[in-house]
Amino acid sequence: MTPEIKRRIQYLLLVAIVLATFRSGYILYHRHASSPAEHTPGKPASPPLDADYYVIPKKLHAYDLKSARELTRQPVWVKEGYRYTFYSYNPANRKVDFEHAAGQLLPLEKLDIQNVVAVSTPQAFRQQLPGGAVLEGEKQVIGLFGYNGTHYAVPIGTELGGDYHIYADEMFFIQDPKELYKHWPADVWDAVDKHQVKPGMNELQTDFAIGMGVPEPSHEADVKTVSYPNGGKPVRVTFRNGKAVEIQRSSG
């Protein structure tokens, strides 16, 4: 290879290196220019993420009677009040009076589950359960608890042919909600304890205060209106950007 050819090759390599360096710098510059600034003077900073998103309550993942009896190892708290019906229970004959509702579990009510058993249920009761047709032979898995010496049972699952469907994790917290959501202000917890809704509360806080709600149709993305039965004292709450802005209580 002649010296002239060597010089040409070196020159071409040098040009290639310079072009590659320029291209890399150009790409990095445009990536930096197109990315949003963390904070520009005069421009409001992005709102902080809601701390509620970081709360992950423990679950039992119960799959049979033995695993469901883990509910008896600690108190439980009702996730949605006025949603779950409970019935009188006779420990002498181990019968549940499914024909007559004894009441509904209250918002964030604390319960001590004493035992979990499976019992046969009347066909009429089975037909009223959600989820469509019920096969003959289905049993109810119930959690037993008491009030002032009176015994009650609340359905927490079903059993059919040895196969269990336990939905206790959807019904109960197994950790104190005040510890889970300890970042909430004291005035919010005071309203929750008094089963009241105040402006500025979010939907979860409202659920904790007055129980299950039914959303109404809405054509605005940032507006949501929810109707709460509230144990026979209906409340209608409108949320804007996730916060209660209008609270309408029934006069009846």
CATH of the domain at 240: 3.30.1450
In the listed set 173, 203, 230, which residue is the last one of a domain according to the structure? 173
Q: Residue 83 has which token pair? A: 């949603």
- The domain tally of the chain equals 2
| 188 is a domain residue | yes
Over residues 204-228, mean pLDDT: 95
Residues 6+ apart with CB under 8 A from 116: 65, 68, 69, 71, 72, 141, 142, 143, 144, 156
Q: Which of 17-26, 54-63, 78-87 has the lowest mean pLDDT?
A: 17-26
- Domain assignment of residue 56, yes or no: no
Residue 148: pLDDT band with limits 50, 70, 90: confident
* In a shared domain, residues 166 and 189: no
92 & 152 share domain: yes
pLDDT at 241: 95
CA distance 18 to 13: 9
pLDDT value of position 138? 83
Q: Would you state the pLDDT for residue 17?
A: 58
Is the same domain home to 166 and 69?
A: yes
Within a domain: 142 = yes
Q: Are residues 104 and 196 in the same domain?
A: no
Q: Are residues 70 and 116 in the same domain?
A: yes
| In a shared domain, residues 158 and 81 | yes
Is residue 219 assigned to a domain?
yes
Same domain? For 169 and 216 the reply is: no
89 and 139 within one domain: yes
Q: What is the pLDDT of residue 128?
A: 55
Look up the domain containing 155 and give its range: 65-173
